[in-house]
């Protein structure tokens, strides 16, 4: 489906709405202030001044209101051996991402999220971009709208379960691969007969290694799967998944902080060692283990600090 977006200044924006008012339709989506339907074009105007044109006549109608480059790019992007299709960011994509793997405190969370081609601009309007450019507070505000709008799945692997499977010899790569595969399966089931054009996984392992991790799973998602590093910048589906996963991580950190009686620090730096030592002295090793990834070096560092303070 052809589509394009124009950013209009206020006067032209209002003129566009007046022009299509007889063709107005109701579109209850966040950020939408006006929508119209022509026989071959759907027009959606957002409060930011952006207007999305979709359908066979998209370029024709958009050209009435601004400069449009209707030529598709012939350039393909190669990332870590994966070739992304032309205009990939405009396609219907199921994306997945994870967070929490580098934090001593807190869980590992993985989310998968489907964004259809006609939702791409809406998701951008909701504030989605590379999650590394967003603060935790802003992601907390954005996530509820994303969860209400998009087909998604989010999985939280608690510290107790993480420590159990890690002690059995599971690597973080295996843990993440299993969670990604499971989250993707959940979303595909919710989509029923609808299928994404592609599935994009934020790459943490080469394709062969990823599939080796999950080779014993009864159901493995393989069709149209692509891997890329920094995938959250390649399609809003991965960026949305990253935000949803991050907020799930933050919510579990809130719960653990309430149990610990102190705001738990993120990451794995010196401040984390100090906080862990305080919990160790106050509540004991079992309590600390239940809220951390116990194989991290931080556990031994915290023990040394605690011993010095006794």
Decide: 171 and 99 in contact? Cβ < 8 Å. Answer: no
Higher-confidence position of 73 and 251: 251
pLDDT the model gives residue 148: 93
| Cβ contacts of 186-190, under 8 Å, gap ≥ 24 | 186/112, 186/153, 187/94, 187/112, 187/113, 187/114, 187/151, 187/152, 187/153, 188/94, 188/221, 190/151, 190/153
Chain position carrying tokens 């009686």: 261
pLDDT the model gives residue 68: 67
CA distance 16 to 265: 50
Count how many domains the chain has: 3
> Are 199 and 108 part of one and the same domain?
yes
> Are 88 and 230 part of one and the same domain?
yes
Backbone angles phi, psi at 204, to 5 degrees: -120, -5
pLDDT the model gives residue 132: 66
**pTM of the predicted structure, to 2 decimals:** 0.78
pLDDT the model gives residue 164: 98
pLDDT higher than 70, residue 224: yes
The fraction of the chain above a pLDDT of 70, given in percent, is: 93
pLDDT tens track for 104-159: 999 999 999 999 999 998 998 888 865 567 889 999 999 999 999 999 999 999 99
pLDDT the model gives residue 81: 40
Task: Find the CATH number of the domain harbouring 246.
Answer: 3.30.420.10
pLDDT tens track for 148-206: 999 999 999 999 999 999 999 999 999 999 999 999 999 999 998 889 999 999 999 99
For residue 259, is it within any domain?
A: no
pLDDT tens track for 276-300: 999 999 999 999 999 999 999 999 9
> Are 89 and 117 part of one and the same domain?
yes
pLDDT tens track for 13-58: 999 999 999 899 988 877 889 999 988 889 999 988 899 888 888 8
pLDDT the model gives residue 268: 93
> Are 238 and 109 part of one and the same domain?
yes
| Model confidence band, residue 212 (pLDDT cutoffs 50, 70, 90) | very high
Backbone angles phi, psi at 77, to 5 degrees: -105, 125
For residue 218, is it within any domain?
A: yes
- Pairing mode of beta strands 151-157, 82-84: unpaired
pLDDT the model gives residue 27: 83
For residue 69, is it within any domain?
A: no
pLDDT the model gives residue 1: 56
> Are 158 and 278 part of one and the same domain?
no
CA distance 138 to 63: 35
> Are 53 and 87 part of one and the same domain?
no
pLDDT the model gives residue 130: 58
pLDDT the model gives residue 131: 59
Higher-confidence position of 293 and 5: 293
For residue 71, is it within any domain?
A: no
Task: Find the CATH number of the domain harbouring 10.
Answer: 3.30.310.10
> Are 137 and 247 part of one and the same domain?
yes
In which domain, by residue range, is 292 found?
Answer: 268-309
Token reading at 114: 């489907």
CA distance 2 to 149: 22
């Amino acid at each position: 489906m052809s589509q394009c977006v124009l950013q209009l200044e206020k006067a032209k924006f209002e003129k566009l709405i007046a022009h299509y008012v007889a063709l107005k339709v109701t579109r209850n989506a966040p950020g939408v202030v006006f929508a119209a339907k022509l026989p071959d074009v759907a027009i959606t105007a957002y409060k930011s001044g952006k207007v999305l044109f979709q359908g066979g006549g998209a370029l024709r109608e958009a050209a009435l209101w601004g400069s449009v480059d209707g030529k598709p790019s012939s350039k393909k992007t190669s990332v870590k051996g994966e070739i992304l299709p032309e205009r990939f960011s405009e396609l219907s994509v199921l994306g997945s991402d994870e967070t929490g793997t580098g934090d001593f405190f807190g869980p590992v969370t993985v989310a998968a999220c489907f964004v259809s081609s006609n939702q791409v601009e809406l998701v951008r309007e909701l504030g989605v971009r590379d999650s590394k450019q967003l603060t935790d507070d802003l992601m907390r505000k954005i996530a509820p709208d994303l969860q209400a709008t998009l087909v998604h799945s989010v999985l939280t692997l608690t510290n107790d379960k993480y420590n159990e499977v890690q002690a059995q010899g599971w690597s973080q790569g295996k843990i993440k691969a299993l969670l990604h595969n499971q989250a993707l399966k959940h979303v595909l089931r919710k989509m029923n007969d609808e299928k994404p054009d592609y599935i994009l996984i934020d790459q943490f392992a080469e394709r062969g290694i990823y599939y080796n991790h999950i080779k014993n799973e009864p159901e493995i998602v393989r069709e149209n799967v692509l891997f890329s590093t920094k995938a959250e910048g390649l399609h809003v589906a991965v960026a949305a998944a990253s935000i949803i996963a991050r907020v799930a991580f933050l919510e579990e950190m809130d719960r653990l902080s309430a149990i610990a009686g102190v705001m738990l620090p993120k990451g794995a730096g010196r401040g984390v060692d100090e906080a862990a030592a305080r919990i160790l002295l106050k509540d004991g090793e079992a309590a600390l283990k239940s809220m951390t990834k116990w194989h991290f070096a931080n556990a031994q560092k915290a023990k040394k600090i605690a011993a010095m303070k006794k």
